[in-house]
Amino acid sequence: MSDPVAESDTVDATTALVERLIAAGRSVAVAESLTGGAVLADLVRVPGASAVVRGGVVAYDTELKQSLLGVDAALLAAHGPVHPAVAAAMAEGVRAVAVVGGHPADLGVATTGVAGPDAQGGAPVGLVYVAVADAERTLVREHRFSGDRAAVRRQALEAALALLAEAVAG
Amino acid sequence: MSDPVAESDTVDATTALVERLIAAGRSVAVAESLTGGAVLADLVRVPGASAVVRGGVVAYDTELKQSLLGVDAALLAAHGPVHPAVAAAMAEGVRAVAVVGGHPADLGVATTGVAGPDAQGGAPVGLVYVAVADAERTLVREHRFSGDRAAVRRQALEAALALLAEAVAG
């Protein structure tokens, strides 16, 4: 039914990242809070992404971070959702739940932070943590982004993909 | 840290929809396949979305439709993931898993279909099912979209939000 319109062949950073994941045969799952699905949506833009991108969980409500990703309730109660240990637990949690063929995903990616317009608990607008977990280690990065809600979310998306690229390269 | 940059006050369809959900106090969760998180990402663009948008599951891999959303394995085995009953089960499933404060989400939304570039099983590129479930009923719509991968996904996103708007209005 559809015209055989070719995808743009512009090689952007996300395309290069997904192609690297495909070449390496490494699967990925994503747990998103403030980015709300935008990281996954960006990854699946790339034709062939289904070979490595399994999906994930958008845990926008804090309670879903616990119920769907297994983030420790005491950790959330003590620090709130915008905390490096929460980002790490989300990345590790989504790896674990995205089981295909009996195996967890090779890589788990997570975002948590405050997009605004209002601060959240003690956390200011623009404070963002991104994390990437594999079977051996979990990397977490703290960022303090400027700009409005859309700008903070876009920068969080880019930071998550940059950390994933770093983990894949490393 | 951030400039107090105002969000755009353009009233688009998604903004109007989220504002209607907020006014009605109706929570929503989303289960996405071919849209890969884009429906949720569009909803959380709107400031104040966190009051009603709980999150959801991106079940890009078929196995996750079963494990994370409770879609019946026999249904998936018989018909594959691009089927109206799968869309309905995804919408009902994500309502059920997005529990906050002991209550499922008021509304569950789902997308499944073939973005391309290749057909999937017997399903042609552009065949898309969207569904919306509440406590009483589940609506499903079949679409046959034209265009490339990006165009199919964008139309699927718009169809899912249009069906959600219809359910909220009804």
- The pLDDT value given to residue B170: 79
> What's the mean pLDDT in B135-141?
98
Nearest-5° Cα angle at A38, B161 to B16: 30
CB atoms within 10 A of CB B106: 21
Bridge partner residues of A132 (DSSP): A109, A139
Mean of pLDDT over chain A: 93
A101 contact B CB<8A: yes
Tens digits of per-residue pLDDT, A5-63? 333 444 599 999 999 999 999 999 999 999 999 999 999 999 999 999 999 999 999 99
Q: What is the CATH number of domain B13-169?
A: 3.90.950.20
Tens digits of per-residue pLDDT, B45-100? 999 999 999 999 999 999 999 999 999 999 999 999 999 999 999 999 999 999 99
> What's the mean pLDDT in B115-121?
90
What is the spatial distance between Cα A105 and Cα A28, in angstroms, rounded to a whole number? Answer: 5
Give me the residue from B2, B124, B147 closest to A116, CB to CB: B2
What is the spatial distance between Cα B28 and Cα B95, in angstroms, rounded to a whole number? Answer: 7
Give me the residue from A38, A100, A144 closest to B41, CB to CB: A38
Bridge partner residues of B109 (DSSP): B30, B132
Measured N-to-C along each axis, helices B13-24 and B149-169 cross at an angle, to the nearest 10 degrees, of: 30
Residue with tokens 């616990």: A66
> What's the mean pLDDT in A144-170?
96
Question: pTM score, two decimals?
Answer: 0.93
Domain boundaries, given as residue ranges, for chain A: 13-18+26-169
ipTM over cut 0.85: yes
How is residue B131 annotated by DSSP? E
Best B10, B34, B61 member to test A by mutation, with max A CBs in 10 Å, is B61
- The pLDDT value given to residue A121: 83
pLDDT at position A90 over 60: yes
How is residue B5 annotated by DSSP? P
- The pLDDT value given to residue B10: 42
Give me the residue from B55, B124, B144 closest to A60, CB to CB: B55
The chain B residue lying nearest A117, using CA atoms, is B47
A63 to chain B, closest Cα gap in Å: 6
What is the spatial distance between Cα B41 and Cα A45, in angstroms, rounded to a whole number? Answer: 14
A35 contact B CB<8A: yes
Cβ neighbours for A96, distance < 8 A, ≥ 6 positions apart: A70, A104, A108
Cβ contact A157:A122 at 8 Å = no
- The pLDDT value given to residue B11: 59
Give me the residue from B1, B58, B115 closest to A40, CB to CB: B58
Tens digits of per-residue pLDDT, B7-50? 344 459 999 999 999 999 999 999 999 999 999 999 999 999 99
- The pLDDT value given to residue A122: 87
What is the spatial distance between Cα B114 and Cα B129, in angstroms, rounded to a whole number? Answer: 9
- The pLDDT value given to residue A10: 43
B39 contact A CB<8A: yes
Tens digits of per-residue pLDDT, A104-152? 999 999 999 999 989 988 899 999 999 999 999 999 999 999 999 999 9
Structure tokens given for B96: 């059920």
A46 contact B CB<8A: no
Architecture of domain A13-18+26-169: Alpha-Beta Complex (3.90)
> What's the mean pLDDT in B127-137?
98
Half-sphere exposure of A140 (CA within 13 A, CB side): 18
Binary contact (A97, B124; C-beta < 8 A): no
